[in-house]
């Protein structure tokens, strides 16, 4: 991937924006969910699900952030950002269509995830270097 300040900036921003909820979900799932009026207190199955999701978010966020500082990882990190953010955004849009509009925090997350997903896809098309024939 071509070296670019915009690629680096997007990878830092999207990595950090994924690491923070990853850590919160992994280590404080009740506090993480209560911000949006969701009470998971006492439900071990939900604790397990949120901690598992937190682990995925943390791992993906670290993978994305790594690409900002290791140029040889920038392409892979941008692909991870595109896939994860687009998937979350799409999943939330499906939920809105099928279940209705959730609380403001969830709507804001949907907008941010869709925007970062589209931005990461754009970066892939704009800054990807052509494959050299061997």
* pLDDT tens readout for residues 38-78: 999 889 999 999 999 999 999 999 999 999 999 999 999 99
Is 6 in contact with 83 (CB distance < 8 Å)?
Answer: no
Mapping DSSP onto H, E and C, the string for the chain reads CCCCHHHHHHHHHHHHHHHHHHHHHHHCHHHHHHCCCCCCCCCHHHHHHHHHHHHHHHHHHHHHHHHHHCHHHHHHHHHHHHHHHHHHHHHHHHHHHHHCCCCHHHHHHHHHHHHHHHHHHHHHHHHCCCCCCC
pLDDT at residue 30, rounded to an integer: 94
pLDDT tier at 127, thresholds 50, 70, 90: confident
* pLDDT tens readout for residues 1-34: 777 899 999 999 999 999 999 999 999 999 999 9
Cα–Cα distance for residue pair 108/113, rounded to 1 Å: 9
Residue 22 gets the label, from left (phi > 0), alpha (psi -120 to 50) or beta, of alpha
* pLDDT tens readout for residues 80-113: 999 999 999 999 999 999 999 999 999 999 999 9
For 12, counting Cβ atoms within 10 Å of its Cβ (0-12 exposed, 13-18 middle, 19+ buried), the class is middle
Cα–Cα distance for residue pair 33/37, rounded to 1 Å: 7
């Amino acid at each position: 991937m071509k070296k670019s300040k915009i690629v680096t900036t997007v990878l830092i921003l999207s990595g950090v924006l994924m690491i923070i909820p990853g850590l919160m979900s992994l280590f404080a799932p009740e506090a993480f969910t209560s911000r949006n009026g969701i009470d998971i207190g006492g439900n071990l199955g939900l604790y397990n699900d949120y901690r598992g999701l937190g682990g995925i978010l943390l791992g993906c966020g670290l993978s994305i952030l790594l690409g900002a500082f290791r140029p040889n990882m920038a392409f892979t990190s941008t692909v991870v950002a595109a896939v994860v953010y687009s998937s979350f955004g799409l999943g939330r849009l499906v939920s809105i269509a099928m279940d209705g509009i959730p609380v403001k925090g969830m709507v804001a997350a949907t907008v941010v995830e869709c925007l970062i997903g589209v931005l990461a896809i754009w970066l892939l098309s704009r800054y990807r270097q052509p494959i050299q024939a061997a």
